[in-house]
């Protein structure tokens, strides 16, 4: 699945926001599910599927802690997005540079 397809879903974006919250290294799947169910009104299996998509596409990591599953952000999925956006940043920056350097060209 392409990174933008993963990020195109508002539930997955919200899960990533939760996982990225400052001061919280990992979230249990139960805690994520409780918040997402409250905000979006979706079922536990639906939240689990969203977590799986994030994990399978490099946006989240999971580790077992007894019977719990702990999730955290994985930045590797974001690199694909950064690489794609970098092309536009370069083009935008190049357009902002005046070609002749004369004051009237800048105005």
Residue 103 lies in a domain: no
- Direct distance between the N- and C-terminal alpha carbons of the chain, in angstroms, rounded to an integer: 45
Residue 106 lies in a domain: no
Segment 72-100 shows an average pLDDT of 80
Which residues span the domain enclosing 78?
3-97
What CATH number did the domain enclosing 87 receive? 1.10.10.10
pLDDT digits (tens, 9 = 90+) for 44-81: 999 999 999 999 999 999 999 999 999 999 989 888 88
Maximum average pLDDT range among 20-24, 34-38, 85-89: 34-38
Q: 37 with 47: CB under 8 angstroms?
A: yes
Name the band, by pLDDT with cuts 50, 70 and 90, for residue 34: very high
* Angle between helix 29-40 and 44-56 (nearest 10): 120
How many domains is the chain partitioned into structurally?
Answer: 1
pTM (2 d.p.): 0.78
């Amino acid at each position: 699945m392409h990174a933008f397809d993963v990020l195109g879903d508002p539930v997955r974006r919200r899960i990533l926001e939760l996982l990225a919250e400052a001061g919280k290294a990992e979230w249990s799947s139960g805690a994520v599910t409780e918040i997402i169910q409250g905000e979006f009104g979706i079922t536990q299996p639906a939240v689990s599927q969203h977590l799986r998509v994030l994990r399978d596409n490099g946006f989240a990591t999971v580790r077992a802690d007894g019977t719990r599953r702990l999730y955290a952000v994985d930045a590797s999925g974001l690199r694909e997005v950064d690489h794609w956006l970098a092309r536009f940043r370069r083009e935008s920056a190049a357009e902002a540079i005046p070609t002749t350097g004369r004051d009237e060209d800048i105005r």
